[in-house]
Amino acid sequence: MMRFSNSYDVIVPNVWRPLPTFLGDKQPYDLNSWIESEEGLKLAQTLDEDDVIVEGYAQYPTWRVHLAYIRSDEGDKDEVVELDGVGGVSILSKAKVFRQGSNFPAFTFLNHAETEAFGKLTKKMGFKIAGLPHYTIWHIYEPSEDDLQEISRLERKKRRHRND
């Protein structure tokens, strides 16, 4: 286990979101923070330069280790894992990373876009990137139309039981 230190240039927390009980109470929110895998590297070799690997889709089986799934409620909040891709909900970066030219590419970079491309580019430039698997921040829950209908149905059911 590595511990948090000042030697990292970019670091991200683990981002989850609370959910209503009927949806399981909580779920990982940001799956863009990950450790590269052999499968992910092999997949990139089969793609055109402008193709982008998007996490979570069956047509792109990367088998990467996502920061979100390393999380444990009892885990050491100072534990650190080195990452290759980072999510964009909350990124802490030393200014020198940007002063030396890293950015969020407006083009594909190593078959990635946006924050994941930032992670790949920054790492390729020699900077150290890490995530805190047990340091969790919570993203607001934004219910879908289906969720709102289910919440309404459950509330009606609850009121009926109180009136019985």
Q: How confident is the model at residue 74 (pLDDT cuts 50, 70, 90)?
A: very high
Helix (H, G, I), strand (E, B) or coil at 79: strand
Reported as half-sphere exposure (CB side, CA atoms, 13 A), residue 110 has a value of 17
Q: How confident is the model at residue 71 (pLDDT cuts 50, 70, 90)?
A: very high
Residue 117: the pLDDT is: 96
Residue range 37-48, pLDDT digits in tens: 999 999 999 999
Give me the phi and psi of 37, to 5 degrees please: -125, 160
The residue type at 116: E
Token duo for residue 103? 């950015």
* Mean predicted confidence (pLDDT) in 65-72: 95
Domain containing residue 105: CATH number: 3.90.550.10
Spatial separation of the C-alpha atoms in residues 112 and 34, rounded to whole Å:
13
- Flag whether pLDDT at 114 surpasses 90: yes
> By residue range, what is the domain housing residue 139?
2-163
Q: Are 52 and 108 within 8 A, CB to CB?
A: yes
Length of the chain, in residues: 164
Residue range 14-27, pLDDT digits in tens: 999 999 888 889 99
Q: Nearest Cα to 109, choosing from 22, 51, 43?
A: 51
Residue 28: the pLDDT is: 93
The residue type at 46: T
Residue range 121-152, pLDDT digits in tens: 999 999 999 999 999 999 999 988 988 998 89
Residue 3: the pLDDT is: 67
Helix (H, G, I), strand (E, B) or coil at 85: strand
Residue 6: the pLDDT is: 80
The terminus-to-terminus CA distance of the chain in angstroms comes to: 55
* pLDDT > 90 in the chain, percent: 74
Please report where in the chains the tokens 């002063």 appear, as a residue.
99
Total tally of structural domains belonging to the chain: 1
Query: Exposed (0-12), middle (13-18) or buried (19+): which is 155, by Cβ within 10 Å?
Result: exposed
Residue 4: the pLDDT is: 62
